[in-house]
């Protein structure tokens, strides 16, 4: 059972710059920041709904819909792109049967581009749920996906 939204708001409302930590806490607890959460968050921080929505929509990290049971993220930042993440993303899309920003119809998996996983020296990188994988090639991809029980 996730922490109630009001409790999370109370924990962060008096922090300097507390909106970002709150949004991270909400996403960690619920998996996404639902549109109906924007108003209570705005009230809790004495902000407009537009200001809160603007932060949520600006950062690719925040989801506004529930993710699949498994979340596959492929790094699209400069170092990973230079080392082949475009081809890797295309291979992941083909194997999962979905495009970036989509969730499979059965809710099993979501595919998200991300903009740096902190593994620039070991590019290209990807993450499956909380597990990081470095130097992922299309040849290694089946093992990566099977290791986390993603139906390819």
Say whether 150 sits in a helix, a strand or coil: coil
Residue 83 annotated in ligand binding: no
Query: DSSP class of residue 135?
Result: S
Task: Say how far apart CA 79 and CA 123 lie, in whole Å.
Answer: 6
**83-121: buried (b, 16+ CB within 10 Å) or exposed (e) per residue?**
bbbeebbebbbebbebebeebbeeeebbbbebeebebbe
CB 130 within 8 A of CB 76: no
Task: Say how far apart CA 37 and CA 29 lie, in whole Å.
Answer: 13
Place of tokens 């009001």: 6
Query: DSSP class of residue 34?
Result: -
Binding residues for [2Fe-2S] cluster: 75, 80, 116, 120
Binding residues: 75, 80, 116, 120
């Amino acid at each position: 059972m996730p922490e109630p939204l009001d409790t999370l708001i109370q924990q962060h409302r008096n922090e300097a710059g507390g909106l970002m930590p709150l949004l991270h806490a909400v996403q960690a607890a619920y998996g996404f920041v639902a549109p109906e959460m924007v108003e209570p968050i705005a009230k809790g921080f004495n902000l407009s709904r537009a200001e809160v929505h603007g932060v949520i929509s600006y950062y690719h990290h925040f989801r506004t819909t529930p993710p699949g049971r498994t979340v596959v993220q492929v790094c699209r930042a400069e170092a990973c792109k230079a080392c082949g993440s475009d081809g890797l993303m295309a291979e992941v899309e083909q194997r999962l049967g979905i495009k970036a920003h989509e969730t499979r119809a059965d809710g099993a998996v979501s595919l998200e581009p991300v903009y740096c996983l902190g593994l620039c020296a070991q590019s290209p990188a990807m993450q499956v749920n909380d597990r990081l994988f470095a130097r992922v090639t299309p040849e290694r991809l089946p093992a990566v996906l099977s290791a986390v029980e993603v139906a390819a």
